[in-house]
């Protein structure tokens, strides 16, 4: 992450240039700290070098979170991380190609800490993820037929949290 104190650093492009050829494959930044045009240029640099880019939402209000989602839809990082507004952010990102990974659990303070027991987090995580596909079970009744190749569904793409 090209961040300090929960903000993208002002010299993120220069720092990125200094590490871009070190073998890293994934690089991230925050939704705050750089104006949108500079953030876009940073993401363009990452794309040009084939790195997977992550933009993390650290906005504290619903309005700011939605604004960050709109910026992500426009600038096109590979992944948007954070936030708890799942459906509205998914709607904003629909068709943009940006994958969304929302926060699950209880968010405490800023910079945020995610808290909660497994039993508390499970319902939240289930609300953002579709169940895993299951294979069909063979029937013991009936006549055998030719093997059927079932289509495999890709894992769910989530652009929230």
Q: What is the greatest pairwise CA distance in the chain? A: 68
Q: Which residue has the higher pLDDT, 132 or 7?
A: 7
Q: Is the pTM of this model over 0.85?
A: no
Residues 34-81 have pLDDT tens digits of 999 999 999 999 999 999 999 998 877 889 889 999 999 999 999 999
Residues 79-101 have pLDDT tens digits of 999 888 889 999 999 999 999 98
- Bridge partners (DSSP) listed for residue 54: 28, 79
Residue 111, both tokens: 């910079």
Output the CA–CA distances (angstroms, integers) from residue 7 to 11, 28, 30, 71, 142, in the order listed. Answer: 11, 11, 6, 16, 63
pLDDT grade for 25, boundaries at 50, 70 and 90: very high
For residues 124 and 83, give the distance between their C-alpha atoms in angstroms, rounded to a whole number. Answer: 13
Backbone angles phi, psi at 52, to 5 degrees: -75, 130
Q: Which of 102, 94, 109 is nearest to 124 (CA)?
A: 102
- Mean of pLDDT values over 131-139: 49
Preceding omega of 111 cis (within 30 degrees of 0):
yes
For residues 22 and 124, give the distance between their C-alpha atoms in angstroms, rounded to a whole number. Answer: 37
> In a 3-state reduction of DSSP, which class is residue 1?
coil
pLDDT for residue 155: 60
Give the CATH class of 3-104: alpha beta
- 3-state per-residue secondary structure call for 39-87: HHHHHHHHHHCCCEEEEECCCCCHHHHHHHHHHHHHHCCCEEECCCCHH
């Amino acid at each position: 992450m090209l961040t300090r104190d929960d903000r993208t650093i002002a010299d993120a492009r220069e720092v990125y240039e200094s590490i871009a050829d070190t073998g890293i494959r994934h690089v991230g930044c925050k939704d705050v700290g750089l104006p949108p045009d500079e953030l876009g240029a940073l993401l363009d640099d990452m794309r040009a070098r084939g790195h997977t880019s992550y933009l993390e939402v650290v906005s504290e209000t619903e309005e700011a979170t939605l604004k960050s989602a709109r910026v992500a839809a426009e600038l096109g990082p590979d992944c948007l991380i954070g936030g708890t507004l799942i459906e509205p952010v998914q709607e904003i990102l629909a068709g943009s190609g940006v994958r969304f990974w929302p926060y699950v659990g209880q968010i405490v303070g800023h910079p945020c800490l995610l808290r909660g027991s497994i039993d508390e987090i499970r319902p939240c995580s289930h609300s953002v993820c579709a169940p895993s596909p299951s294979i069909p079970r063979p029937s013991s009744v009936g006549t055998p037929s030719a093997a059927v190749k079932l289509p495999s569904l890709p894992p769910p793409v989530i652009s929230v949290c």
